[in-house]
Structure 1
Amino acid sequence: MQKTVDKYFSTLSSKSKDSKRKLIYTWIENHETLKLLCEDPKTADLKYLRPVGVATILSAEAEQELVGWVNMLRKDGVPVSGPMLEMQALEIAAEHDVLGFKASWHWRKGKAHILSPLPSTCEAAPTPLLPDIPVDVFEALKRACLVGDKDKDLSSDDDLADDSESDGEDNE
């Protein structure tokens, strides 16, 4: 075995060579299983084969719930961080009785599309600046909106003075 490892892995350190030696022994031990996997086109290209149940994932329904949560926060302008996503995913997994789900960094990396930045068309528009208007004109506009007197012409100063003296009462 040592000659084989030295021949094919001559550039590796002694620790890495020892690791390759163990890997080759594992291949020899699992020869029959590997042979069956190579015969099936679906599994022939696999680099790693995990037993069923080792990789725990959320159901499609649970993932939709998580996406809805992220979208709700984004709609309100709240950025979603990785730890926030992890905590919410763990809560949803507990609600759906998914045992062993960890929301690891690798899982979050696989869900990067959920956290991708919003396109610029979805970003909030900047708040328009208010025009510079005198305070008394602004107050008259506010009163007109509250009273419902929207048709009143607020352009003349006389009307503004009359409104401020009458305090909303008709003195005719």
Structure 2
Amino acid sequence: MDEIALTLATFNRSLRSLHAWKTHSLTTRGLRALACIPTLQDLDLGWALCGVITEGLGELVRGCKNLKRLYLTALRTLTDHDLNQLTMQSSQLTQLDIMGTRNITPDAVYRLLQSCKHLELLDVSFCEQIHASFIQQCSTQFPHVDIKGGIFHQVRII
């Protein structure tokens, strides 16, 4: 996938949409290449990235200022730091999918909701630290954003 990203950055700098779902071989090198495509608006990297991508993700969002839809589904290594980079750099973001993320905290999600004024859809389903009560609170405070997900705590009676 890195080679494909390099080829796209070299020969198709007007690309608007890329779906690299489940490619499993995109690294920081590939993200840096995609950052050279300033017209990119729709990027699906769900299940595609491996390892820590903090550096590459930061470069990606700085280079692709027009990103509107970003899918980072099941990116287990995504952290608050990564989400904060999105918050600071992606002012045009309308959709973000971080479903299945383990390390994102409610504080980082809240900052994202405050900063991304164009956000319409946020999927935090199966995010271990994001609970239904937090989603309910944010849905009230940010009614223009459709927030999906939230873990419910269940009490087991034995």
More strand by share: 2
Structure with the higher fraction of residues in helix conformation = 1
Normalising to structure 2: TM-score of the pair?
0.19
Kindly indicate whether structure 1 or structure 2 has the higher relative contact order, using CA contacts under 8 Å at least 6 residues apart. 2
